[in-house]
Chains A and B, each alone.
Chain A
Amino acid sequence: MDRRDLAWYVDRAAQALVFVGGISAIIFILGIFVFVTKEGLDFVLGPLDLGEFFTSIAWRPTSNNPTYGALALMVGTASVTGFAMLFSVPLSLGAALYIGEFATGKTREALKILVEMLAAIPSVVWGFVGMSIMNPLIIETFDVPVGLGVLNAGLILGLMAAPIMTTIAEDALKAVPDTYREAAEALGATRWEVILKVVIPASKNGLLAAVLLGVGRGFGETMAVLMASGHAINLPTSPFDSVRALTATIAAELGDTVYGSNHYGALFTLGIFLFLVTFIINLTADVVVRGIRKK
């Protein structure tokens, strides 16, 4: 065997190894689906009443006559995420426009680093901030008995989802060719007119994908929502009401369940539901982004 043969074999071996690494992401995502489903399957096929699951607000897994209605949890997640997006989407898109289109030099770098820092704060610290800083602040400002609820968790969640939306939206703006801007400017458009009439229309799919990924982020957030939402089963009627989220329910209850019990299976069923919804959100974002590439 001469030296070139050895190099050739090494090359082949490396290619095979690297290929295994390449498909690992697919293996893991399938693995997540399979293992979460496996633990929840007995419950889904057995005691689960789908009608109750989607329409009842009675989540009483530990009562003598247990019921597994997840509606209040879904409404809890939706209300917190919705409230978060209400202020986070405009702010994030505005920030992306400022950083991408207006800011230059040092300002731009500083703002980008601050956004990155916002993304770096761990969710448990956000939850702690919600409990220890925002909670008294909300109680004092609005004169309400409890400051843990939709407002608190929504504000926290909005700040948490903002960096991902800002970053992806800025990428989408960056993907608009400079020649478009130059052509508009040559016709006498101001920078604002360029943004409004050229950049935003050209990048709208990317911006939409940014919003979708932000929604996905908010939907799946666990620790911060658990700590800042009040964790009470409730259909909220005001922003100060406490709610309970799907993710938070799993985090709070899994430690107390017996392996293989109905309660255990029910929590994994919530996991399957969360997995499917985030999968659909991410898939939609991918399709939306692909839409622009094809054009």
Chain B
Amino acid sequence: MFTATTLNRRSYRTQNVARAVFFLMTVTLVIPVLIIVGTLVVKGGPAISWEFLFTAPRDGMTAGGIFPALVGTVWLVAVALLASVPVGVAAALYLSEYAPDNLLTRSINLAIINLAGVPSIVHALFGVGAFVLFFNIGASILAASLTLAVMTLPVVIVATRESLQAVPQAFREACWNMGATRWQTIRKVVLPNSISGILTGVILEVSRTAGETAPIMFTGAAAFVAFLPASVFDQTMAMSYHLYYIATQQTGVPEEVTFGVALVLISIVLLMNAISIGFRVYLRGLKKW
């Protein structure tokens, strides 16, 4: 009675073919990552040395290192985080803990999707129009970081909102029943239970911010600055812009150096991503509810 009929066998064969085809499609999609990382390591690896990481470029950027660009990227990311994390967490708190299901909330959600979807070069134009010109900050770390902050705001909001919503509603209700205000509940119960998830989102944002090029091109990144930035009102070199510059604008740069810069940049970005992913997996293991 339960032996397979021809029809059964045929449908199982179809299923197996479908499974194999979809598997191949997935592999086609992810294999380039491995090829790219592999090629960068092979071709850029030889360029990496202490001298490469910790000295300034020399001889029209054909020799020397990338230290000012590394320091510049750290400045840009740090200032961008200072600006976007408080705003992003506040936005996520509003959406998760306060917002009623109404037109305003729907508009906020739509605005977040759009903020993430607007082309990076339009963010750059906004940065020029708003921060550099209108608020008269000039092309500087501050203007570039604020542009980056606006652009990566959705990353913080979405990650934070997700970890806030993962806190069971019963925790909040228990706290309200003790007579706590909404804010006391958020501070003493919701945030402590979601802080690590928020941190995961922040690390992810670091990775996004460090790699962006277009938004900083006209708002504060410079092709070559002989000194390290002293304040947020200085222009600075940055890893991403440095790679663009030596790959397209500067002639006579040895291939090894360009690949080296690309390798360092992608290492920073992927390392941050790996930390974020590792953190998330670890947290899932810790989860008590």
Contact = CB atoms under 8 A, between A and B. Distances in A.
Contact of B211 (A24, A28, A125): A125
A245 B244 CA distance: 17
B262 A95 contact: no
A74 to B, nearest CB: 14
A235 interface: no
A21 B160 CA distance: 13
A46 interface: no
Interface stretch (B58-66, B74-82, B89-97, B166-174): B89-97
Contacts, number: 280
Contacts of A190: 11-12, 14-15
B32 interface: yes
Interface string A97-121: 1110011000000010111111011
Given A14-B186, A114-B33, A255-B217, A29 B114 contact: yes
Interface in B20-68: 21-23, 25-26, 28-30, 32-34, 36, 39-40
Nearest to B126: A32
B269 A121 contact: yes
Interface stretch (A47-55, A56-64, A217-225): A217-225
A222 B14 contact: no
Given A18-B94, A132-B255, A223-B214, A120 B121 contact: no
Q: Is the interface of B mostly helix, strand, loop or mixed?
A: helix
Interface string A161-186: 01000100000000000000000000
Nearest to A248: B121
A114 B31 CA distance: 9
Interface residues of B, number: 90
- The binding surface of chain A is classed by DSSP as helix
Interface stretch (A33-41, A65-73, A236-244): A33-41
B121 A192 contact: no
B240 interface: yes
Nearest to B149: A28
Interface string A113-155: 1111110111111011101110000000000000000000000
Contacts of B178: none
A206 interface: no
Interface string B78-119: 000000001111110111011100001001101111110111
Contacts of A91: 25, 28-29
A128 B181 contact: no
Contacts of B181: 7-8, 10-11
A282 B114 contact: yes
A162 B31 CA distance: 13
B243 A125 contact: yes
B137 interface: no
Contact of A220 (B32, B90, B120): B120
A187 interface: no
Contact of B15 (A116, A129, A191, A271): A191
Nearest to A255: B218
B232 interface: no
Contact of B247 (A118, A132, A159): A132
23 contacts: A7-B183, A7-B184, A18-B93, A19-B98, A21-B86, A29-B115, A103-B26, A115-B29, A117-B30, A121-B33, A125-B265, A127-B244, A131-B247, A132-B259, A192-B11, A195-B18, A216-B117, A221-B120, A222-B121, A223-B213, A247-B121, A251-B217, A259-B133
Interface of B: 11-12, 14-15, 18-19, 21-23, 25-26, 28-30, 32-34, 36, 39-40, 86-91, 93-95, 97-99, 104, 107-108, 110-115, 117-126, 128-130, 133-134, 150, 153-154, 157, 181-184, 186, 207-208, 210-214, 217-218, 240-241, 243-244, 247-248, 255, 258-259, 262, 265-266, 269-270, 273, 277
